[in-house]
Structure 1
Amino acid sequence: MNYTEALGYMKKAAERGSVLGLSRITELLRLMDNPQDKIKTVHIAGTNGKGSFGAMLTSVLKSAGYKVGGFSSPAITKVTDSFRIDGEEIGEQDFADIIGDIAPICESMDEKPTEFEVLTAAAFELFVRKGCDIAVVECGMGGDTDSTNVIKAPVLSVITNVQKDHGAFLGDTIAEIASHKCGIIKQGRPVYFGGNSEEVYEIAADTAKKLGCELFIPDYSQFSWSDDSCTINGTELIYKGEKLHIPLLGTYQRENAVNVLSCIEILRREGIDIPESAVRQGLADVKWHGRFEVISREPLIIYDGAHNPDGIRCAADSIRRYFGDKKVVLLIGVMADKEYGLYADMLGELTDTAFAVKPDNPRALDSKSLAQALTERGMRTLPFEDYAEGARAALDYAKKQDMPLIALGSLYMYQQFTDALKDIINK
């Protein structure tokens, strides 16, 4: 099977929709000789922060000399971007080879796996084939019924935080959502909770107690930072007296780094050797796309994949941190199932004009509806049916007003945005 054929098969699997539950993925992996049981795994659930956490931890483990597999979603550029070895996206042929081997197994099943289940199985098989020492695996959505939740004994389960998101699948309350995410906690295995909700902590603690697990939380007495520790050049914090630099932007990256450093201590207790030099080097070398990423410095263009109210709040905090009272230009595209009406309250004071576009996704909200909702709440927003036209208009306005351009609202928009910029620059 070549890459085009593999994409064709994944399109066929996607037509089966999204169906929660573990019966299909469990059967598929059984037919594949259970590759998920052959690799040490750190399993991550949470509403926000999973990607940055995974990227930092992967970089540190790589610096410590381990071969590290990674699986995350959604793919930011193309499907191969969900699969990483030592932080690097896999090649098209690697993807095609694995899908080519898995597809006949899927087709032999009475109940065919969904797209995400096929991708999950492919990830575990990839890690085994590449000889990974450890894998860092993100939940796609929720936890208990997510297809990644076939890991029987993770080295560590991590819950970064819990906010309202995916209400149609996970519930309308924090407690309901937390109960799903705590489903990744496994019998007798350590679990880390890095959020700040007392309600979620109590649910995690109760689940851990029932399953005989030790629950860890961050010890903030070990960390400190100054008011100028977040700049447009990266993030710094002091851990156990040593200053650490992280090239990732966003005020939320300090919290992500605290969680990573706390989990490194747990992994050491589990017998994984991680020297201090690897921690320092790994954090300094980390790369991750789409999270307050500087796409261009002249003119200043930033992309942030904030896609729910908590993410937008964090993006707004970062904009204030980096630009103070200076206005910015916003290019926004969202999914229709998000609470996008709230975004105007969080972002309105930061801009005088926003530009609404539609991400290339079946669940995306049309630009006119988004613009109307934001404008009605006091944030002047102009709709553009053509994405490239909207990006060009936003960039032209930003240049004219000498303002930074911030694109945000959905990770699904990242490829569209960077492609549009290339076309604008080339023309």
Structure 2
Amino acid sequence: MQEYERFINRFSKLGKRVDDLSRIGRLMKAVGDPQQRLRFIHVAGTNGKGSCCEMLAKTLTAAGYRTGLFTSPYIIRYNDRIRINGEDITDAELNELALLIEPSVDACGEGFSQFEITQAMGLLHFARQKCDVVVLETGLGGRLDSTNIIPPPEAALITSIALDHTAILGDTIEEIAMQKAGIIKRGSAAVCSACVKDGALTVMQEQAERCGTHLRTPDMSRMNVRRCDMFGSEFDYGDMRGLRLMMGGTHQLYNAAAVIETAEALRERGFSIPEAALRKGLTAQIPARIQMLSRDPLVIVDGGHNPEGISALAATVGTLGCKKHFVIGMLSDKDSAEAARLIAPHGDRFVCVDSFAPNARNAAELAELLKSSGADAEPSTLSAEETVARELASLGEDEALIICGSLYLASLFAGGIEHLGK
């Protein structure tokens, strides 16, 4: 076990519920308040955060900025949560940070969460490495999320609003929007995806007005889509012609438009972002976002884990004209019934798994939910890896395998399926 793993594992995954930012404030003060020496683009939203963060970070790196990127959860290994110019933090760097801050953290005597500790290490790393700007993804919500301890960001981007984490954020769209909108601060540019509408958009507009800033929203009538499928998209936006995305699905067009508007907001604040850098940034790819692992046979892995994310997957794989087999698993705190209703019509066979996480929904329960929506579904008694290997071996000609339902499940396969022997 690495030194940083020993240190982080001393803390609980969630920590105690907070009503303000005082706890993370004490932690950041203990490690020297590195956030005060950095500039940020802060990104919140129910879905789309990871994709937008990846595009923004690649854009800024291509524009010549030393760019930090902080995301969660990790997809392939813990280190990929903290990156500079696309490079993961090394084990040696994490170990050094752990040893450096452990005495100060212990002196606080607080019940910090693993997320808070990782955030402290990440922001300290970015400050020590003299990053020009950091793209920072929220963990949960926004207003009371530990990442919101940062000073007013250069830009705050809201990617989408949907029902998720309702026990913590609220059980209406407007309540959740109020939490996400908390990252918009006085002195920041504010951008909101075009997929945020109605009451949620009103909440965003009101927060922007309170902060004395204009809320930018993409005008999707300026977008001309030439091609959009699971392999990516080609489109025009305003005066920019022939833009390309490598990540598939209609939802990525909304993400791309939000990133373009964020780049424009940053230009207005003095950032030099050539069009060539933005074009390169839009081609970013992120594991487990409708990721194609193999073309022959066609194997897709996706980490969408709530109804909105499952709906985006369904819209994309629904265009495939082949027989589709699913290996699916979800966490117990997700709206599995609604997710099952959305995905059931798009699969010929579903195999449900629950070995990928301690808090996974029971595979038999998930299979029953899918059956109640008309699907052919069954639970697997094998591990997730064994189940996928079995399903791969049984694929016939012109058949596809989709692994989905949870980022934790998707992370097992986002690095490839060669280890499964297929």
Whether these two folds match at TM > 0.5 is: yes
Which shifted more, 91-100 or 411-420? 411-420
Report the secondary structure of 1:137's partner residue: strand
- The match for 1:388 is 385
Question: In structure 2, do the counterparts of structure 1 residues 317 and 103 end up closer, same or farther at CA, with 3 Å as the change threshold?
Answer: same
User: What's 1:234 paired with?
Assistant: 232
2:255 and 2:169 map into 1 onto residues whose CA distance is: 23
Could you tell me how far apart the structure 2 residues matched to 1:26 and 1:418 are?
Answer: 35
- Given the superposition, is the C-alpha separation of residues 62 and 16 from structure 1 closer, same or farther in structure 2, using an over 3 Å criterion? closer
2:144 aligned with 1:149: no
Q: Check the 8 A contact 2:44/2:141 in 1, yes or no.
A: yes
Alpha-carbon distance in structure 2 between the residues aligned to 1:39 and 1:15:
26
Q: How far did 1:188 drift? A: 2.9
Amino acid at match of 1:76: I
Q: Distance in 1 between matches of 2:13 and 2:211?
A: 37
CA distance in 1, matches of 2:214, 2:413: 43
What is the CA-CA distance between 1:401 and the residue it aligns to? 5.5
Once residues 207 and 14 of structure 2 are traced to their aligned partners in structure 1, the CA distance between those partners, rounded to angstroms, is: 33
Q: Equivalent residue of 2:413, what SS?
A: helix
Say yes or no: does 1:338 pair with 2:334. Answer: yes
Q: Deviations 1:131-174 (Å, cap 9, x if unpaired)? A: 21100000000011111001121001111110000011111110
SS of alignment partner, residue 64 of structure 2: coil
- 3-state SS, counterpart of residue 372 of structure 1: helix
Give 1:414's aligned amino acid.
A
Deviations 1:85-127 (A, max 9, x none): 1122221111121122122211111323211111111111111
2:308 paired residue among 304, 307, 310: 310
Contact 2:45–2:158, Cα closer than 8 Å, also in 1: yes
Distance 1:96 1:236 in 2: 43
**What aligned pairs does 1:214-293 form with structure 2 within 5 A after superposition?**
214-226=214-226, 229-239=227-237, 240-284=239-283, 286-293=284-291
RMSD between aligned residues? 1.8
Distance 2:8 2:41 in 1: 26
* Consecutive unaligned residues in structure 2, runs of 5 or more: none
Return the letter of the residue paired with 1:303.
V
1:375 aligns with 2:371: yes
Q: Which amino acid aligns with 2:412?
A: Q
Q: Matched residues in 1 for 2:355 and 2:140: separation?
A: 20
Alignment of 1:1-400 (within 5 A): 4-14=2-12, 17-20=15-18, 21-194=20-193, 195-226=195-226, 229-239=227-237, 240-284=239-283, 286-321=284-319, 323-324=320-321, 326-358=322-354, 360-385=356-381, 386-397=383-394, 399-400=395-396
The SS at the match of 1:230 is strand
Give, in whole Å, the separation in 2 of the partners of 1:253 and 1:346: 19
Could you tell me which runs of 5 or more consecutive residues in structure 1 were left unpaired when the two chains were aligned: none
Among the aligned pairs, what percent are the same residue? 34
In structure 1, distance between residues paired with 2:420 and 2:355 = 18
Q: Secondary structure at the match of 1:235?
A: strand
Question: What amino acid sits opposite 1:118 in the alignment?
Answer: I
- The structural deviation recorded for 1:79 is 1.6
SS at match of 1:140: coil
For residues 35 and 314 of structure 1, the distance between their equivalents in structure 2, rounded to whole angstroms, comes to 37
Task: Give the SS at the match of 2:186.
Answer: coil
SS of equivalent residue, structure 2 residue 141: coil
Change (3 A) 1:344 1:153: closer
Runs of 4+ off more than 4 Å? none
Distance 1:419 1:273 in 2: 34
242-251 vs 341-350, greater mean Cα deviation: 341-350
Could you say which residue in structure 2 is the equivalent of 1:405? 401
Q: Distance in 1 between matches of 2:41 and 2:341?
A: 37
For residues 260-288 of structure 1, give each alpha carbon's deviation from its aligned partner in whole angstroms, at most 9, with x where no partner exists. 0111110000100001121123323x221
CA distance in 2, matches of 1:278, 1:418: 26
CA contact (8 A) 1:391 1:420 kept: no
Do 2:351 and 2:379's aligned partners in 1 also have CA atoms closer than 8 Å?
yes
Question: Which amino acid in 1 is paired with 2:171?
Answer: D
User: Which is worse superposed, 83-92 or 14-23?
Assistant: 14-23
Structure-1 separation of matches of 2:416 and 2:353: 12
Structure 1 pair 368–263 and aligned structure 2 pair: CA distance change class (3 A): same
Please identify, of 31-40 and 415-424, the stretch whose mean Cα deviation from structure 2 is larger.
415-424
- AA aligned to 1:299 is P
DSSP 3-state at the match of 1:237: strand
Q: In structure 1, what is the Cα distance between the partners aligned to 2:256 and 2:416?
A: 32
User: Aligned partner of 1:342: which letter?
Assistant: E
**Counterpart contact for 1:60–1:282, Cα < 8 Å:** yes
Deviates more, 1:80-89 or 1:136-145: 80-89
Change (3 A) 1:349 1:45: same
TM-score, normalised relative to structure 1: 0.93
The alpha carbon displacement at 1:217 in A equals: 1.0
